[in-house]
Structure 1
Amino acid sequence: MKTQPMLEQFIQRHQLDEDYLTHASDNFSPALESIVSHQKQAKQTFLVGINGCQGSGKSTLADYLGTRLSSEFDLNVAVLSLDDFYYSKQQRNELANQIHPLLRTRGVPGTHDMTLANATLEKLCTGATANDPVLLPRFNKFTDNPYPKSQWPIVDRPIDVIILEGWCLGVQPQLMKDLIYPINKLEAEKDRYGIWRSYVNQQLKQNYQGLYQRIDLWLMLKAPSFDSVQAWRLEQESKRQQRRISEDNTQQETFMTSTEVRAFTAYFQRITEQCLTTLPSHCDWVYELDNTRNIINTTQPALVKETASEIS
């Protein structure tokens, strides 16, 4: 079959078992067909947003959808991660010096270059050509800096579908009263006066809403709770190490220990819990996961809401 080689490459890229394709087809084909149908109706670049906490499989899902849209439906697809727009170490150090030391660590809203994110999406939607190509930013998590622009993928033809995934994609800001009390040790000890979390919240209000409004269809991989995040993030780190070993890469790179992973995920707890509580009702497709990332339920909250509105 035409799609088999590309799907085999997909399996190899993500070090997956072959049965992933069976489960993915069962779970994601309806959403895939919806994307194709909407894109044909819109007759313009269609933007799909995928939310999922760290280690939930959102990057894998984005690549899977992109692979099938390209191979089976002959659509031109660009796959991006919100992670690709992280500020450099130097830029985050400047934020840390000016606003709060916790901004030195990438991850939360306020550590992304949203000007670059919006500009990249705008160029892709306007239409890339051989004479006016679009560079897709890429971030290197091993060096904690963006890759050099010379290594960014080049898009030189019009794009039919953009798939954008991100751990905090779609999350809404909290009320000020909800920011008063720290929710973990990190906030209690390192953000005693709430300066960091207030800044992050303000960034969500000011600089992320415009990007959210660009998204035509929302998918969410919903973790059972924040407790799953640390275990999944540890697994993710182990997988990255194995990949680097298999590639026999001699470049000096650092990996996080289990203690460092636990400390790192504390930065994400507040917004992850906000996502799990508030985001599902706004999504077109929600895939509820168990602790081993198996999909145990699929819902279409936005469709239910729309139907209820029509009845009333």
Structure 2
Amino acid sequence: MALTANGESALVSAFVRDERLPPDFADLTARLHRPLARRIAAWAEAREAAPLVVGICGPQGCGKSTLTGLLALLLEARDLKVATLSIDDLYLPRTERERLARAVHPLLRTRGVPGTHDPALGVATLDALARAGPTALPRFDKAADDRAPAADWPIFEGPADIVLLEGWCVGARPQPPEALAAAVNSLERDEDPDGTWRGFANAALAGPYRALFGRLDRLALLTAPDFAVVRAWRGEQEDRLRQRLADLGRPPDQTMDGPALDRFVAHYERLTRWIAQDLPGAADVVIRLDAARRPLETLALANAGR
């Protein structure tokens, strides 16, 4: 079914209202969300076997979750069955990360870097979404820092036409071994001086994550101007979380600021920088964002003909 321009506009307006987004967000969708949805729909139409698996990669705080949510709505309005997954929902349970922290390196206690997810769970979920019938979509409870009970996972009735897999390291490839020698920040210098932690994450990308990321049919990449902007975006996320907690009358004890946030973001600096260097030549769509999260071009379609 063709989605008219008026239909798209009405859907976007409702999304902006429901998500309490600023009014100018509708203008952004005309340059990013709506053309990307059309591109994905065309990919799905040209694909012989379903589902089409589209990776959406971008640094922390760049707007991936909002982008994915609106893409799903725009695609569903075209009568496409869309399942959405976040790599965050594939985190290992806390007990498993604690085991890795004891056996391999203490920094693996903090979720996020490769090696702290369950790629096999992601592959199994993609396999299930290709079949008719119900599929439970994994969910992670960040407040509890643990995987949500399976009974609470949402159910998707398959088969899916499209799967959107979003995450900060979706599609990432391992670095050359020689790139691991020098620390990129004080966290690596002081807490991973021999490179065990970063080596483990890199080996995970070369090993178990290849099976998951190898299932991507297409990859959309968002990039930031530099890592300082990523740190600022992540700080804005914490500000919004503090405000939401305040509105609920709850203490901001789940938020970070200052040195704590700097240390947290440092966990992801190496791979964020590497992705921005490595993936633009491999992605199907490259979207360069400015510091205000607006695309510098109207949906730059890199390698779109592949």
Relative to the length of structure 1, the TM-score reads: 0.89
Q: Is the 8 A contact 1:222 1:287 kept in 2?
A: yes
Which residue in the other structure is 1:121 paired with?
Answer: 126
- Aligned-residue offset at 1:273: 0.3
**Equivalent of 1:29, from 21, 25, 34?**
34
Question: Following the alignment from structure 2 to structure 1, what is the Cα–Cα distance between the partners of residues 143 and 165?
Answer: 21
The one-letter code matched in structure 2 to 1:180 is A
Question: Following the alignment from structure 1 to structure 2, what is the Cα–Cα distance between the partners of residues 101 and 15?
Answer: 39
Q: Is the 8 A contact 2:85 2:163 kept in 1?
A: yes
Question: Following the alignment from structure 1 to structure 2, what is the Cα–Cα distance between the partners of residues 99 and 12?
Answer: 46
Which residue in the other structure is 2:55 paired with?
Answer: 49
The one-letter code matched in structure 2 to 1:295 is P
Worse overlay, 185-194 or 285-294? 285-294
Question: Following the alignment from structure 2 to structure 1, what is the Cα–Cα distance between the partners of residues 171 and 285?
Answer: 13
Question: Following the alignment from structure 1 to structure 2, what is the Cα–Cα distance between the partners of residues 12 and 215?
Answer: 32
Q: Give ranges in structure 1 of 5+ residues lacking alignment.
A: 307-312
- Aligned-residue offset at 1:187: 0.5
Q: Is the 8 A contact 1:284 1:301 kept in 2?
A: yes
**Equivalent of 1:102, from 79, 102, 107?**
107
Q: Is the 8 A contact 2:55 2:219 kept in 1?
A: yes
- Aligned-residue offset at 1:241: 2.8
- Aligned-residue offset at 1:165: 0.5
Question: Following the alignment from structure 1 to structure 2, what is the Cα–Cα distance between the partners of residues 271 and 55?
Answer: 15
The CA RMSD over aligned residues, in Å, is 2.1
The one-letter code matched in structure 2 to 1:49 is G
- Aligned-residue offset at 1:2: 5.8
Which residue in the other structure is 2:274 paired with?
Answer: 274
- Aligned-residue offset at 1:4: 6.6
Q: Deviations over 1:89-134 (max 9, x none)?
A: 2110000001000000000000001111111111102x241xxx11
Which residue in the other structure is 1:140 paired with?
Answer: 141
Matched length: 299
Which residue in the other structure is 1:287 paired with?
Answer: 287
Q: Are 1:259 and 2:259 an aligned pair?
A: yes
Q: Is the 8 A contact 2:82 2:161 kept in 1?
A: yes
Question: Following the alignment from structure 1 to structure 2, what is the Cα–Cα distance between the partners of residues 31 and 257?
Answer: 34
Question: Secondary structure of 1:292's partner?
Answer: coil
Aligned pairs (5 A) from 1:77-226: 77-125=82-130, 127-129=131-133, 133-226=134-227
Q: Is the 8 A contact 1:142 1:255 kept in 2?
A: no
Question: Following the alignment from structure 1 to structure 2, what is the Cα–Cα distance between the partners of residues 152 and 249?
Answer: 27
Q: Is the 8 A contact 1:143 1:253 kept in 2?
A: no
Question: Secondary structure of 1:203's partner?
Answer: helix
The one-letter code matched in structure 2 to 1:117 is G
Question: Following the alignment from structure 1 to structure 2, what is the Cα–Cα distance between the partners of residues 171 and 46?
Answer: 19
Question: Secondary structure of 1:163's partner?
Answer: strand
- Aligned-residue offset at 1:177: 0.9
Question: Following the alignment from structure 1 to structure 2, what is the Cα–Cα distance between the partners of residues 209 and 278?
Answer: 16
Q: Is the 8 A contact 2:120 2:212 kept in 1?
A: no
Question: Following the alignment from structure 2 to structure 1, what is the Cα–Cα distance between the partners of residues 127 and 287?
Answer: 29
Structure 1 residues 252 and 288, CA gap change in structure 2 (3 angstroms):
closer
Question: Following the alignment from structure 2 to structure 1, what is the Cα–Cα distance between the partners of residues 278 and 151?
Answer: 39
Identity %: 37
Question: Following the alignment from structure 2 to structure 1, what is the Cα–Cα distance between the partners of residues 251 and 186?
Answer: 34
Question: Following the alignment from structure 2 to structure 1, what is the Cα–Cα distance between the partners of residues 74 and 289?
Answer: 22
Q: Give ranges in structure 2 of 5+ residues lacking alignment.
A: 1-5
Q: Is the 8 A contact 1:45 1:159 kept in 2?
A: yes
Question: Following the alignment from structure 2 to structure 1, what is the Cα–Cα distance between the partners of residues 11 and 259?
Answer: 37
Question: Secondary structure of 2:32's partner?
Answer: helix
Structure 1 residues 13 and 226, CA gap change in structure 2 (3 angstroms):
farther
Q: Deviations over 1:131-180 (max 9, x none)?
A: xx111111122221122222211112321111110101111111111111
Question: Following the alignment from structure 2 to structure 1, what is the Cα–Cα distance between the partners of residues 181 and 278?
Answer: 19
Structure 1 residues 200 and 159, CA gap change in structure 2 (3 angstroms):
same
- Aligned-residue offset at 1:87: 1.1
